[in-house]
Amino acid sequence: MSPTLTLTARLNTSAADSRRGLVRVHPEVLTALSLREWDAVSLTGARVSSAVVAAAPADSPTGLILLDDLTFTNLGIREDSAVVVAPVVVHGASRVTVRGSRLASVSVTEPTLRRALLGKVLSIGDTVSLLPRDLGPELTAAGATASLARSVGITWTNELLTVTATVPAGPVSVQTNTAVLWEGESREGVNRAVGTTPTASAAPGAAPRSVPPTGTANPDTQPTPDTQPEHRVRPVSELVGVDTQVARLEEWLGVTLDNPDVLRALGAQPRLGVLLSGPSGVGKATLVRSVCAHRPLAEIDGPSTGALAADGRRTAVQAAVATLPATGGVLLVTDVDKLLPAESDPVSTLILQDLRDAIAGGAVALIATTSDPGGLDSRLREPDLCDRELTIGLPDAGQRAKLLGAILADVPTHGRLDLDTIASRTPGFVAADLAALTRDAALRAASRATREETDAELRTEDLVEALGVIRPASRLESPDVALGSITLDDVGDMVETRQALTEAVLWPLQHPDTFTRLGVEPPRGVLLYGPPGCGKTFVVRALAASGRLSVHSVKGAELLDKWVGSSERAVRDLFARARASAPSLVFLDEVDALAPRRGGSTDSGVADRVVAALLTELDGAEPLNDVVVLGATNRPDLIDPALLRPGRLERLVFVPPPDAAARADILRAAGRSVPLSGVDLDDLAAELDGYSAADCSALLREAALAAMRRDIDAATVTAADVETARAAVRPSLDPDQVAELEAYAARRAE
């Protein structure tokens, strides 16, 4: 059962937090609830709602929770009311429906709504705001305010929306491919799905700005003001890291649309269909708009169109094609996997036929973008549709530095920003993530300037602090290992474990020339084994923070699926994401469930096929450059032996239960933010025989809760609170299991 706390609600007077759906609590409350900043929490007052949680100033009372005015409304409470706070699991929404004023519903497009709500945690019945600072990277400048003022009028700052439905039900967050619709959307949705812009996708190498686009469709069928794309079409020269993709797309469009007779003379049909794939926010749609800046361009927003009724989806596609002139143009379908998902229906067949008819004559080129190429209708890849594919990968460190330089080109700074350091610490970040990073850093700089009455200037430390709260979009589809300020030096006296991980993971990244000079390949993988709760995952967190890696974490059983081919595809997708975001770490927790000994399972061979797929990825034809695989288990004897040979998980490292010295180090690390009074951690550690690392952390967490039960405004955790906690948190290590693992380690050492 999740821990809960009852706090007293007070109004947050910070203008920076106003109407953001953000609540702030004391850092001790975050520790007591096992939360990090920017996690989601459930809030219970007169009604239940959800929000994003962040830390309040350290000098604020412990028992208070700071809410904005909208959160007070959503909870149905007043100041000084009690609010029950608890962690909550939030799922990405596939569809969100909202209700607003008539003026807003006819003036603001669904893509703009999606950008306005992007990343917010919503529940049915919640009231949310429409503010330009909440819009995506391409609508954060002054143009956003002007756009909303033109659409809604001067009252746009007071515009409030009500969430009427979500799919799935329960607390959800709005993602880049979520369909955000106005309540009662019917025929109007068809018109609004044509000519609109896609999800917030920052341009590679350009500062986020918003001016009218230069590309147009048929002059006789210009989009109405409510459907006019709100994107600046950037020159191709401003794009970073996509030169190959730009050149290839320009060549294909030039030959197909400008010189169709040449193709016919060579016996080829002048038909072009391109599937452009890449992570969310990497700039797929922006690239297409830049390349097609001087061509007629009609756009279909995949999530919004896919959420329409069956007849509405087909009508929207036909209407988009009709907006192109008779001389032809380009039809762009963004997030096509939402319009044509893998689970097809009869309407999908009709839509595919409409697309075939549109490009058959050669006057219209089809370009479809997706961040989930495995989740779209396979028929889209047939030879008469999208027979060509382009992929935009994640930017490397050098490209990220250039992107940051472009985004911050016009921003006043305090001295020279160390963008190379920031770029090296942002593996897996795309242009949209970097834009979000600079926005958060700008808020910190503005807050400092207001507080200290100094000039508003951005500093490197603002960007460094923002790194702790911005999660890259490339990891949204897989759980992260939480990164913090810990390093390998904070993991106690696990000397052998630290040395093995340093050699296998950090040395290849920090000293690649040495491996080349000595003519050896770095270790491919490491298996950590030991009793539950002894710090295996903690070590991975420290490793990720030390090596500045992109971490892809998955529990073994999560990849198993009864459908033939699904589990193998999940393994391939996992390693594909790791390659794309290198340098990266693939963390396979509970690997014994993913790769058991072959031949003895009763699951129709699913586990055997997964083991084969895993072995293929580890030493197959496609190399794992700058990718290290790390497995963790407490049952190493159950793992298939083929996985443990050299070239795979070749380093087996025993993570023993912590001794007294290690427990003291663990207590000091876990209690770094806990104000202890009269507690000698060395003496306490000596008394905790049989406690695992997780038990030690749980002990301090329970002690903080005990202090709150004693006095909700308690400022310190006393020795009496720790003794109270010891009665509730008992040692979890099983002596028999520990003995078996030690015997296994001894056999491996012989």
Whether the Cβ atoms of residue 302 and residue 338 lie closer than 8 Å to each other: yes
Sign of CA dihedral 20, 25, 26, 28: negative
More confident residue, 61 or 550: 61
Whether the Cβ atoms of residue 540 and residue 483 lie closer than 8 Å to each other: no
More confident residue, 385 or 745: 385
Of 329-343, 518-532, 615-629, 649-663, the range with the lowest mean pLDDT is 615-629
pLDDT of residue 624: 74
pLDDT tens, residue by residue, 420-473? 888 877 877 888 788 878 887 888 888 888 888 888 889 999 898 888 667 665
pLDDT of residue 76: 92
pLDDT of residue 556: 64
CA–centroid distance for 665 within its chain: 32
Domains of the chain with bracketed CATH: 5-89 (2.40.40.20), 92-185 (3.10.330.10), 219-391 (3.40.50.300), 397-475 (1.10.8.60), 488-654 (3.40.50.300), 660-732 (1.10.8.60)
More confident residue, 168 or 542: 168
pLDDT at 366 over 90: yes
pLDDT of residue 118: 76
Q: 3-state class of 214 per DSSP?
A: coil
More confident residue, 270 or 621: 270
Average pLDDT for 318-347: 90
Residues 6+ apart with CB under 8 A from 75: 9, 43, 44, 45, 46, 47, 49, 67, 81, 83
Residues 6+ apart with CB under 8 A from 503: 523, 651
pLDDT band at 191 (very low <50, low <70, confident <90, very high): low
pLDDT band at 480 (very low <50, low <70, confident <90, very high): very low
pLDDT tens, residue by residue, 487-497? 565 555 567 77
pLDDT of residue 44: 93
Average pLDDT for 509-535: 82
pLDDT of residue 354: 92
Q: Where are the alpha helices (DSSP H) in 523-600?
A: 536-547, 566-580, 591-594
Average pLDDT for 683-710: 87
Cα gap 528→539, rounded to integer Å: 10
Among residues 110, 162, 131, 141, the alpha carbon closest in space to that of 20 is found at 131
Reported pTM: 0.67
pLDDT of residue 563: 67
